[in-house]
Homo-oligomer: A and B are copies of this chain.
Amino acid sequence: MFRKALEQVVTYEAGKPIELVMREYGIKQEDVIKLGSNENPYGSSPKVIQSLQESAHKAYLYPDDSMYELKNALASRFNVRSEEIIIGAGSDQILEFCMQALEHKNARVIMAKTTFAMYEVYARLAGVEICKTPSDGHNLDEFLSLYNANRGEKDYKRVSAVFLCVPNNPLGECLDTQDVEEFIKKLDRDTLVIIDGAYQEYAAFKDKKKAFNPADLIKKFENVIYLGTFSKVYGLGGMRVGYGIASKGIIAMLYKVRPPFNVSTLSLQAALVSLEDSAFIEQCIQSNASEMLRYEAMARDNALAFIPSYANFITLSSPRIESTHLAQWLLARGLIVRNLASYGLNALRITIGTPSQNTRVFELIQTYLGLSN
């Protein structure tokens, strides 16, 4: 009855919810700290919460399927036109649209070895061959050499899509804008370059060289789509809103695979209001930057390895630590972090929390390290 290709599809392992920790470990809600899914530890903007409360009575009304207001707000924020924007249930859904809409016949897609897991999931569902770079993080030379491999030969397959995650989840490193642009110039025009900027707000603050400008990009390249999300610094992980910015032609094709009403009424409202509260966003980004320094100091003090991160999380590892054991130990104490064993790495990804949350993380990690000495 079902497609054979599905047998190979592995279901994405989502971060653990607070309710699960409460159920399984009998820990009270207020004692659970969730730093496993890169949510904004400050929550949503108070203005968003108020607006959600005021709009709750609209839950019975189907969303405005034209997404008129949010598209206009994004268009003015990014200095692009409404027709150059598509809005999805998270930027995830835009990835799904891309994979569904592209012609993958005799084609393959290219991504970094260790990058956002959904690239592979959606590519697999589309039945396209997946090529990964040898290095974990993004190395554009490796991308290019994969891109050109077997060119002109009998077994050559064109590349339908290239995934670039800037900064990269779950590792944290980030490519420079200029290097990415040089890279794209070397690709064919029928390859879609997907630039995933889910954590761009943090990277742009830390280093201007890592700041991607969607309007610039789509002016220069007809084959680029830039993805952004409201799930991270905008504090709306639960509302499922993301967006894609690309040329009108690409957006029109993605619209063909978009189901109607793909974003809920309250989600559209929350995203709109969150865009307006730039003071809140700025505070969150600044706190992230200063707390990141505390994490780096803690890592150095405890001889833990870390990758300098341009996002709102840090990836820690050590040959002394078995990440699955540590993650489990922390979970039993109410701290949810992300074990990267499912990515094939002996490492933990921890979302940068509020100062008091982070202090608790440091205490727990130090206790654990003390125990294992």
Residues of A within 8 A of B (CB): 1-4, 6, 9, 11-12, 14-15, 17-20, 23, 34, 37, 39-40, 42-44, 48-50, 52-53, 56-66, 68-69, 89-90, 92-93, 96, 100-103, 118, 121-122, 125, 160, 190-192, 223, 231, 235-240, 250, 253, 255-267, 270
Contacts and interface: CB of A to CB of B under 8 A. Distances in A.
A44 B19 contact: no
Contacts of A266: 52, 238-239, 264, 266
A223 to B, nearest CB: 7
Given A1-B192, A103-B1, A49 B44 contact: no
B261 A240 contact: yes
Contact of A40 (B60, B102, B121, B257): B60
A20 B236 contact: no
Contact of A15 (B62, B69, B101, B263): B62
B44 A60 contact: yes
Nearest to A270: B59
A97 to B, nearest CB: 11
Given A89-B262, A238-B265, 13 more contacts: A1-B223, A2-B103, A9-B256, A34-B61, A39-B61, A44-B57, A44-B60, A52-B53, A59-B235, A60-B238, A89-B259, A122-B259, A240-B264
A238 B56 contact: no
Given A2-B103, A52-B52, A239-B265, A20 B66 contact: yes
B253 A92 contact: no
Contacts of A62: 14-15, 17, 37, 39, 231, 237-238
Contact of A49 (B39, B57, B100): B57
B235 A60 contact: yes
Nearest to A68: B19
A6 B64 contact: no
Contacts of A253: 1-2, 6
Contacts of A6: 101, 253, 256-257
A189 B362 CA distance: 57
A265 B90 CA distance: 13
Nearest to A49: B56
A105 B64 CA distance: 36
A280 to B, nearest CB: 12
Given A56-B53, A68-B20, A92-B261, A61 B238 contact: yes
A49 B59 CA distance: 8
Contacts of A121: 259
Contacts of A118: 259-260
A44 B265 CA distance: 13
B61 A18 contact: yes
Contact of A11 (B192, B238, B240, B255): B255
Given A14-B62, A59-B236, A92 B37 contact: no
A17 B262 contact: no
Which of A17, A59, A63, A66 is packed against the most chain B CB atoms within 10 Å?
A59
Contacts of A49: 56-57, 59
Nearest to A36: B62
A41 to B, nearest CB: 9
